[in-house]
Structure 1
Amino acid sequence: MLQGYGRLMQQTIERVHLTVAGVTHHLSPLEDAGDLKSAVLHAVRTGGDFVEVSLDAGQRLSFLITATTPVVIAVETVVIATETADRTAETWRPEFDVTTEGETPYDLL
């Protein structure tokens, strides 16, 4: 979703957080809350099953979900300022001084 505020463009993403037995896990941006709900419901309705998720840090976890497993799925909307994300803000500067050596570093070409 893009919203215009003059020159500032903002984009939002949804972040899913899964709490199982009181422990909250921050899921990968690729995890979908609807798919996760379906997997949890399927596990409960079939008498218990493992539900796998990817965490934000890259690990994969498997949870044994049963009818008595306390599960909370929370969705958070996070605003990402695109001028910061792609380093096009007027205030962005490289971490080093490119004028002292007279040459442009390869990563700025």
Structure 2
Amino acid sequence: MIWLIGLGGSLGAASRYLIAEWMKHKTRAFPAGTWIVNIAGSFLLGMLADFHLANDMNDALWLLLGAGFCGSFTTFSTFGHETVTLLQSDQYKTAGLYVVASIAVGLAAATVGFWI
């Protein structure tokens, strides 16, 4: 089973990197790549958790997609680093917006995903 988590994790990490790199070319005012990845990952994990809890998804698929893919696709450490970088650059409003939007929209996305 550990191999399923590793496989999902490598796919999630690669996906996160590609999306974040693509978004760097779109905007520099806001860490949009990490934000989009974290919101999408929250939504997906909410859906997967509901499927798993309802026994509509077996444990192997849960480990591959939930623990593996979503676990490495979303990233709290990058969120923290980008927030500190914004604060060090005296971009206090952007940092505040990033934190509030990440938490509020992330929780909402997870909830919507769970309901769906």
Would the TM-score normalized by the shorter structure come out above 0.5? no
Q: Of Structure 1 and Structure 2, which has the larger fraction of its residues in helix? A: 2
More contact order relative to length (CA 8 Å, sep ≥ 6)? 2
- Bigger CA radius of gyration: 1
Q: Of Structure 1 and Structure 2, which has the larger fraction of its residues in strand? A: 1
Q: TM-score, normalised by structure 1?
A: 0.30
